[in-house]
Amino acid sequence: MGLPVRHTSGRAPLWAIIGAILAVSPVSAHEFWIEPHDFSVDAETEIRADLRVGQDFRGDAFPFVASRFTAFKSHDGLGEQDVDGTTGDLPALSLTPRTDGLTIVTYISAGERIRFREWGKFAAYLDLEGLTAIPALHDARGLARDDIRELYTRCAKTLVSVGNGADDRDRATGMPLELVAAENPLTLTPGAAVSFTLLWQGEPLPDAQVALFRKDGNTETGTKILTRTGADGRASFTLPASGTYMAASVHMIEAAADRNADWQSYWASLTFAVE
């Protein structure tokens, strides 16, 4: 899974870009996230971040490829702006901060397709992502179990503190599926509670699985905690330790009739760090 070679700067060769593109699917990589090199920077320091694909919060860097996303933006106290880049750039994000506070970076991927020829693989994927209602809905719609067509879109987000950003807060940016943190990461410490509101088309999404991953930066091991949102779309966790975190959730709906698919899924991720 992932790229044969990881590049740390400059442009990736064409074969590496193609390999990265092919790696992004619910089967080969269950997560897609934005991972800043530093989650807290001075006002004069460039924000650099990788797009990553992988599983259990471990994966390879994905280059800047404009055809692979419909929106790649940064949001701060001055508004929003597009993230610029050249095909093959690694890291995919290099951005000069415009103001103190939280800089929120969001990425909405172009729609991708996947086909499941075996029900067992599709069912295992649904179970992993907590999509417990889909099997019964699939059968109720009279859909085949041996040829399942899915469209999926990634909605990734990260929070970077610039300068004195302790008083700023996360906010909704308009992605189709979006996690919004209630607390500023700068105010959090190990043992503290952290909560997220999961929004679907701008409204709280109840009874959806949210996973919280942690890696401490020193090892390749980490932790994964699962919960489900309440009626208000909120999911809460207790932070076990300092480190880099990712909250993630998947929502699946019936695909529109003109999309030539059975299901359409949206994958939300939110990364942040706790000292």
For the cut 50, the answer to whether the pLDDT of residue 84 exceeds it is yes
Specify if 97 maps to a domain: yes
Specify if 9 maps to a domain: no
Task: List the beta bridge partners of residue 162.
Answer: 41, 101
DSSP 80: E
Count how many domains the chain has: 1
Q: Which helix (H) or strand (E) holds 14?
A: helix 14-23
pLDDT band at 30 (very low <50, low <70, confident <90, very high): confident
pLDDT band at 25 (very low <50, low <70, confident <90, very high): very low
Specify if 171 maps to a domain: yes
pLDDT band at 1 (very low <50, low <70, confident <90, very high): very low
For the cut 50, the answer to whether the pLDDT of residue 9 exceeds it is no
State percent of the chain over pLDDT 90.
80
CA distances to 14, 79, 80 from 97, in Å? 30, 12, 12
Average pLDDT score over residue span 36-63: 94
Average pLDDT score over residue span 156-177: 94
Q: Is residue 141 within 8 Å of 17, Cβ to Cβ?
A: no
Residue 47 pLDDT: 98
Residue 167 pLDDT: 87
Of the given ranges (2-16, 60-74, 138-152), which has the lowest mean pLDDT? 2-16
Residue 168 pLDDT: 94
**Which residue bears the tokens 């699939």?**
138
Residue 221 pLDDT: 52
237: closest CA among 204, 273, 212? 212
Of the given ranges (20-24, 47-51, 233-237, 256-260), which has the lowest mean pLDDT? 20-24
For the cut 50, the answer to whether the pLDDT of residue 7 exceeds it is no
Residue 107 pLDDT: 98
Q: Is residue 25 within 8 Å of 122, Cβ to Cβ?
A: no
Q: Which domain holds residue 149?
A: 14-274
Spell out the residues 6+ positions from residue 253 whose beta carbon is closer than 8 angstroms to its own: 263, 264, 265, 266
For the cut 60, the answer to whether the pLDDT of residue 26 exceeds it is no
Could you tell me the CATH number of the domain that includes residue 60?
A: 2.60.40.10
Q: Is residue 26 within 8 Å of 127, Cβ to Cβ?
A: no
Specify if 230 maps to a domain: yes
Specify if 4 maps to a domain: no
Specify if 8 maps to a domain: no
Residue 141 pLDDT: 97
Specify if 264 maps to a domain: yes
67 or 223, which is more confident? 67
Residue 8 pLDDT: 37
The pLDDT mean for the chain works out to: 89
Specify if 96 maps to a domain: yes
State percent of the chain over pLDDT 70.
87
